[in-house]
Amino acid sequence: MLRFAQALDTQLRAAMERAFPEAAAEAIAAGRPLDPQLAQASKPEFGDFQANGALALAKPLQQSPRQIAAALLAELEADVAFGALCLPPQIAGPGFLNLTLRPEVLAAELRRRLTDPRLGVPLASESGAGSAVAPVIVDFSSPNIAKEMHVGHLRSTIIGDSLARVLEFRGHPVLRLNHVGDWGTQFGMLITHLKQVAPEALTRADAVDLGDLVAFYRQAKQRFDEDEAFQATSREEVVKLQSGDSVSRRAWQLLCDQSRREFEQIYGRLDIRLSERGESFYNPYLEAVVADLEAADLLVVDAGAKCVFLEGMQGKDGNPLPLIVQKSDGGFNYATTDLAAIRYRFAAPPAGDGARWVIYVTDAGQANHFAGVFQVARRAGWIPEGARLEHVPFGLVQGDDGKKLKTRSGDTVRLKDLLDEAVERCEADLRRRLVEEERQEDDDFVQQVATTVGLAAVKYADLSTNRITNYQFSFDRMLALQGNTAPYLLYAVVRIAGIARKGGDLGDGAATSAEPQAVFPDLLLFSEPQEWALVRELLKLDTVIAEVEQELLPNRLCSYLFELSQVFNRFYDQVPVLKAEPAARASRLALCRLTADTLKLGLGLLGIATLERM
Ligand code: ARG
């Protein structure tokens, strides 16, 4: 619908200029051209779009909105291009113009999409939404070395991956960065502790696994908090590491490798691509951050620490909040690293990434951290004009009880166990269903379906809620065959594949080798309201994807795919397809084909694979 919206917007603007030349000229001179306020129709019975611009003009023109709407309508009716696109418009309510696209225009657009691998979704460069050369950076997942990857990281991974996929599909070069926590004081304690209790872990690559490391880390932290001598040695160890001491470096490298192997397993299962560029990468740039801030006259020394006082952000005592850049002992912190990262990401190559848009996907608890870091980066002059810098926050993952997700014994949930359980539950459900339906399937089939559906369910449950709210994790809900769930959507795809198996030619090479061009007639004919509802729903894909890109909300895409599946199921339950007479049959099969393609594409952008049978 984007193309139509753009064409209509242009035609409406021109009509306004012709109907009210003086007001239009004045508005242009004032830098605020008259706006037809084109929007999607609020209800299907109002047509496809409505233009509300007449209302805002009533006062300046001293005419009633309906009079203004009538004048616009007269101009539109004289416009041949408009007439080719829309049926005669209706004036409604106080002065809205209701616009309905011509059926033959909708049918032709649908036909065009059958042979378009992008299904009508333009590239961002074609729709003027930003340049396609400067990379967009999505900073997501970003777990910490020697610590377990937890459900918060899972959310970041799933949401970040989906946003990256949408941006890539729109043609942006995307840099998917894993900002792993691989630097800082925790390594001092961990290395000191391991030297004493498990020195082999520091010299042999596979001496310990992540579970052991996490336990060692806990012990080290406890000693650090209780034992002053241990504290002092740990601090010395950090200094050694940061100054490049070869023994410390090698120990650090091994620890990172061990964690990395575990992370990679999760990424592999979830089909996530990421480039690791951890905190340590920015170590050489930390001094430059301090120097830049000093030169910009932003640094204040407060109780020995170098900090920047934040504008408009107060602490509990009402005093301006400082962002500490360098601690009194000379050490740097999480925020300093993030400042160095921003500086690097926006800097022109080869000194940096030359990004024009940077997105951080982390829990909402880090909102203040990013607000502070972004403010300092702007004041330091590191953010180019027109660049976008965004924190994409998300809520907590809660258990069924509304509390933080925990295992029954009260431990934090390991991601591996969580994914395993989703797949196991799926397998059990599937085996039960096979018995009920008296179906015979081999183990490969069961495994493949259970894995695909289980992982899809975990991802979809996360993506389909508005990310900003907390999200209640429930296997039962996410695996249900009914409702806004992955199984429901996957089932719609399976249903359509079933049509091909029953002899319906969907032109996708399954039932025939012919291309859609040959299979579907040039003129598609629709008569039933269920068909038109499905046509209109299918044509919304481009608008929805542009919105997801703009608002960075994958749940918009989920709602759309759910709505599409429902509209499709209504159509397929109420209108004959395979038994229809030939002309109607071909047009209806075209609807089935495009529905399957749209669901596959949309689910693909959510990182979810589809099945032909389940
Ligand atoms: N490692 C951090 C954590 O586990 C997330 C890092 C997010 N990215 C960033 N540039 N700060 O909370």
Q: What is the pLDDT of residues 5-47, one digit of tens each?
A: 999 999 999 999 999 999 999 999 999 999 999 999 988 889 9
For ligand 1, pick from 139, 142, 334, 369 the residue to mutate: most ligand atoms within 8 Å of CB.
Answer: 142
Average pLDDT of 98-110?
Answer: 97
Residue nearest to atom 6 of ligand 1 (CA): 142
pLDDT of residue 512: 46
- Cα(561)–Cα(559) distance, integer angstroms: 6
User: Residue type for 588, please?
Assistant: R
- The atom number, within ligand 1, closest to the CA of 366 reads 12
How confident is the model over 367-407, as pLDDT tens digits? 999 999 999 999 999 999 999 999 999 999 998 888 888 87
- Nearby residues of 133 by Cβ (< 8 Å), 6 or more positions away: 173
pLDDT of residue 352: 97
Backbone φ and ψ for 17, nearest 5 degrees, come out as: -65, -35
Q: Which residue has the tokens 């084109």?
A: 38
Residue nearest to atom 11 of ligand 1 (CA): 338
Number of H helices, E strands in the chain: 23, 14
Question: Is the model's pLDDT at 432 over the cut of 90?
Answer: yes
How confident is the model over 37-58, as pLDDT tens digits? 999 998 888 999 999 999 989 9
- The atom number, within ligand 1, closest to the CA of 279 reads 10
Average pLDDT of 470-484?
Answer: 92
Average pLDDT of 493-510?
Answer: 85
CA of 5 relative to ligand 1 center, distance in Å:
40
Average pLDDT of 328-333?
Answer: 88
How confident is the model over 347-372, as pLDDT tens digits? 999 999 999 999 999 999 999 999 99
Instruction: Quote the percentage of the chain above a pLDDT of 70.
Output: 97
DSSP code per residue over 536-594:
HHHHTHHHHHHHHHHH--HHHHHHHHHHHHHHHHHHHHHS-STTS-HHHHHHHHHHHHH
Question: Is the beta carbon of 338 within 6 A of some atom in ligand 1?
Answer: yes
List C-alpha distances in Å: 49 to 40, 68, 97.
4, 18, 8
Question: Is the beta carbon of 140 within 6 A of some atom in ligand 1?
Answer: no
How confident is the model over 150-193, as pLDDT tens digits? 899 999 999 999 999 999 999 999 999 999 999 888 899 999 99
Question: Is the model's pLDDT at 547 over the cut of 70?
Answer: yes
- Nearby residues of 115 by Cβ (< 8 Å), 6 or more positions away: 515, 516, 517
Question: Is the model's pLDDT at 207 over the cut of 90?
Answer: no
Question: Is the model's pLDDT at 510 over the cut of 50?
Answer: no
- Cα(137)–Cα(173) distance, integer angstroms: 9
Question: Is the beta carbon of 259 within 6 A of some atom in ligand 1?
Answer: no
List C-alpha distances in Å: 576 to 175, 565, 589.
47, 17, 10
pLDDT of residue 486: 98
Which tokens belong to 240? 């050694």
- Cα(221)–Cα(190) distance, integer angstroms: 8
Query: Is the backbone of residue 504 left (phi > 0), alpha (psi -120 to 50) or beta?
Result: beta
- Nearby residues of 250 by Cβ (< 8 Å), 6 or more positions away: 202, 203
How confident is the model over 289-328, as pLDDT tens digits? 999 999 999 999 999 999 999 999 988 888 889 999 999 9
Strands 49-51 and 471-472, sheet pairing: unpaired
Question: Is the beta carbon of 279 within 6 A of some atom in ligand 1?
Answer: no
CA of 184 relative to ligand 1 center, distance in Å:
13
Question: Is the model's pLDDT at 475 over the cut of 60?
Answer: yes
More confident residue, 129 or 103: 103
Average pLDDT of 557-561?
Answer: 98
CA of 178 relative to ligand 1 center, distance in Å:
9
Question: Is the model's pLDDT at 509 over the cut of 60?
Answer: no
CA angle 38, 41, 47 (to 5 degrees): 110
For the chain, domains (ranges, CATH) are: 2-101 (3.30.1360.70), 102-122+480-614 (1.10.730.10), 185-271 (no CATH)
pTM of the model: 0.94
